[in-house]
Structures are given as C-alpha cells and as structure tokens.
Amino acid sequence: MLAMNYRGPRRVRIDQKPFPEIKHPEDAIVRVTRSCICGSDLHLYNGNVPDTRVGMTFGHEFVGVIEEIGPDVHNVKVGDNVLVPFNIACGKCAFCKQGLYGNCHESNTQATAVGGIFGYSHTAGGYDGGQAEYVRVPYANVGPTVIPPDMDPDDAVLLTDVLPTGYQAAEMGGIQPGDTVVIFGAGPVGIMAAKSAWLFGAGRVIVFDHVEYRLEFVRNYAQCEVYNFREVDDVVVFVKKLTDWLGADVCIDAVGAEAAGNAMQTITGRKTLLQAGSATALHWAINSVKKGGIVSIVGVYGPTDNLVPIGNVVNKGLTIRANQTSVKRLLPRLIDHIQQGRINPKAIITHRVPLEEVAEAYHIFSAKLDNCIKPVLIP
C-alpha cells in the first residue's frame, strides 16, 4: 500500500509499505479516505520530537471505512464509515475512566505522561499513522466512532483533533460570560479556539499571529479582533492597553514549540525585554493575562522543555491548564454543535492533495504558502 514515509528532518516521501495486520483481538484495519496534516506533524517534520524514527508513517487525523476487525471488536463492523480520534485509548484504565483519553495508561508504556497517538514518534507509543491507504487501529471498541449519516466527511475529519483541541483550549480557559480571551496562533487550532470561545460566552476574542492570510481568515470566520504581532511594539503592553491595563481574563497558547527559540519578551515592570531561546507565545500568554487569570495551553512542547517563567505565574496567582485533547470525551457535544450549525469546521480546509503528493503538501503547510490553512490528503 502507499504510505507517507519519514526520512529525517524536512524529508518525507510516499512509499510502498506492507499492509497493516491485525495484531491483537481488539484491533481494526481502516481504509483511509481522508487524512489531514496537523501543526503537530510539523514538530515531527522539523525533527523536534525525540525518537521520531526514519520509516514512520505520520498522520493522526483521519476518517475511513472499517476494512477488517479482530475477533473482540463489537462496537464497529466491517463497512462502517468512522472517524478515529487521534488518541489511542484503552477505555479501561484509571485515566480513560475519568475521560482523560489523551492520557491513557495502557496505550503508551513510555515514561512520558502522554497516551498513545497515531503516527507520533516512539515517545507516543510508536504507532504508524493514517497518512496512508490503510492503518491499524488498536482498541477499536474505544476510538473509532461511526460518522452520523448526515455529516460531511470533511467535518468528520476535523473532529479527530483540531476542533476538539480548539474547543478544549477554550474549555480549559474556564471562560466566564463577557470575558476577554486572547489567543496566540491563528493556525487551525487557534481558529477553532476562537470560534469555541464565543460558544463559552466570551465577550471579546483577540487573536495574534504574524501570517496575514491566517489573521484575515480568522477575523472573518470567528468575528474576532486580530493583530499581527510583528506590527506591535510590545505584545504584552499592547494587550494591557486593550484591557484597561488589567490584562486578559484568559490567554490561550495555540502555538507550541514553533515559537520556542524565537526572540521572546519577558515583562519587567511596564517594559519588556527581548531574550532569546524561549517560547514567545507561552511567555506572552503568561505575561498578558490578568492577575488571577487562566492560561490554557494546547500548543505542543517537547517532553522536557523548561520554558515557564514560574516567578510571574506565582506572583500573579495564575492558573495554568494544559493537556493533550481527550477527543472522545468531547465528540457528543461537538457533533451537536456541527449539526445545529453553530460551528462549521470544514471551512478551514484549503487544500485537497492526492496522498502521492504528500511531500509537497508538507512543504506548503509548513512554509505557509498558497494561503494554506488545512491540507487534506486523499489516498
């Protein structure tokens, strides 16, 4: 079968690989019909995730048809159209039972806290992903969810990660009616967080990025205020000015490690100081939220990154909430939001690319060319 094949930093190609096989009675094989590239894949693509092995197939956002099931699979059957959450979750461990499907204890035996993730290096279990014609889906009684017959598969594929992640970012922010919410990052996740913030009752939603076409998109799509951080002298002071010098009620980091290593600003009194080698968006979030405010982090970082300006967190009495998204927990609510027309995720899909052109798709998405927001690979 054809599958994306990681060859090293910024080198991916399409290759022939063996068909996946049922290895466990609860496995299923899914024939993939759509598979997205995610901002999370860019951390792998850029070589920033430890133990990303040459030969791995990425892809954790996919939908398809159940092709084959193991003898202990009862919740889906051959021929079902399913969406598959990016988390690989056993459904039975202490964490899954709490709804923390992103922190499953069984699907990843590594020391890191993250559960298994499709196509996300050996730090997340070493499972091959869905940027392929076929993929093995472990614990198939738990993740794969039959797509409602009236749902567009383009909406369904965005339910496997980015919509739940943007929504969970807003949920973790504990948004109260009327709150000012500042979101860093206008990628697919930041866009979904902006849209979701309104669903939680935000009174004002402000988004920062430096890619103009993405700012333009989120302004129209989520009816929010947008700013190019490169055109602002000092982001932290700018947010303070917008909020009567109090700071935002909630800040969301929808950027992650992409911003690490850039020049960053740390606040020292009313002035900010440029330093190198830390995470701009995360620092901006911590420094521009109000005292007692909440910083919600969905941006992905390396397991041992040490980037939090803890003194500011303590002195301001902040709450920091962060996690991998537990997709399955949110699906019933989000399916309802889509069916009631409150959110239209497929609007962010800008590119439909044959799986064979996976290398070009990674390049366009990574370099932010051709007004790309979300590319979908079609096997």
Write the DSSP symbol of residue 176.
P
Site string for ligand NAD, 278-297 (x = CB under 6 A): --xx----------------
Measured between its terminal Cα atoms, the distance across the chain in Å is 10
Minimum distance from residue 3 beta carbon to Zn ion (Å) = 18
Burial class from Cβ neighbours inside 10 Å (0-12, 13-18, 19+) for residue 98 reads exposed
Q: Which of 154, 161, 209, 249 binds Zn ion (CB under 5 A)?
A: 161
* 129 binding ligand NAD? (CB under 6 A): no
How far is 172 from 177, CA to CA, in rounded Å?
A: 15
Minimum distance from residue 179 beta carbon to Zn ion (Å) = 26
Minimum distance from residue 31 beta carbon to ligand NAD (Å) = 24
Minimum distance from residue 145 beta carbon to ligand NAD (Å) = 17
Q: Which residues of 231-263 are buried (b: 16+ CB within 10 A; e: fewer)?
A: eeebbbbbbbebbeeebbbbbbbbbbbbbbeee
Q: Which of 136, 214, 290, 351 binds ligand NAD (CB under 6 A)?
A: 214
* 33 binding ligand NAD? (CB under 6 A): no
Minimum distance from residue 303 beta carbon to Zn ion (Å) = 17
Instruction: Give the residue from 57, 88, 85, 253 showing the smallest Cα distance to 161.
Output: 85
* 208 binding ligand NAD? (CB under 6 A): yes
How far is 257 from 370, CA to CA, in rounded Å?
A: 23
* 170 binding ligand NAD? (CB under 6 A): no
Return the SS3 of 56: coil
Return the SS3 of 337: helix
Q: Which of 4, 12, 37, 38 binds Zn ion (CB under 5 A)?
A: 38
Alpha carbon dihedral 327, 332, 335, 336, in 10-degree steps, equals: -140
Minimum distance from residue 215 beta carbon to ligand NAD (Å) = 9
* 95 binding ligand NAD? (CB under 6 A): no
Contacts of 37 (CB under 8 A, 6+ apart): 58, 59, 61, 131, 361, 362, 365, 374, 375, 377
Closer of 29 and 37 to ligand NAD (Cβ) = 37
- Residue 186 binding: pick among ligand NAD, Zn ion, none (C-beta 5-8 Å cut-off by kind): ligand NAD
Instruction: Give the residue from 269, 298, 322, 28 showing the smallest Cα distance to 161.
Output: 298
* 210 binding ligand NAD? (CB under 6 A): yes
- What radius of gyration, in Å, describes the C-alpha atoms of the chain? 20
Q: Which of 26, 68, 179, 209 binds ligand NAD (CB under 6 A)?
A: 209
Count of other CB atoms within 10 angstroms of residue 1? 16
Which residue stretch of 136-144, 161-169, 250-258, 311-319 sits at the interface with Zn ion (rule: CB under 5 A)? 161-169
What's phi and psi for 97, nearest 5 deg?
-65, -25
Closer of 117 and 308 to Zn ion (Cβ) = 117
Q: Is 121 left (phi over 0), alpha (psi -120 to 50) or beta?
A: left
Contact 138, 116 (CB under 8 A): yes
What's phi and psi for 137, nearest 5 deg?
-115, 105
Residue with nearest beta carbon to Zn ion = 38
Closer of 50 and 71 to ligand NAD (Cβ) = 50
Site string for Zn ion, 45-74 (x = CB under 5 A): ----------------x-------------
Minimum distance from residue 130 beta carbon to Zn ion (Å) = 11
Q: Which of 14, 27, 34, 39 binds ligand NAD (CB under 6 A)?
A: 39
Which residue stretch of 4-12, 50-58, 194-202, 253-261 sits at the interface with ligand NAD (rule: CB under 6 A)? 253-261
What's phi and psi for 146, nearest 5 deg?
-65, 130
* 45 binding ligand NAD? (CB under 6 A): no
Contact 121, 49 (CB under 8 A): yes
Q: Which residues bind ligand NAD (CB under 6 A)?
A: 38-40, 42-43, 161, 165, 184-190, 208-211, 214, 229, 254-256, 258-259, 280-281, 298-300, 324-325
Query: What residues make contact with Zn ion under the rule CB under 5 A?
Result: 38, 40, 61, 161
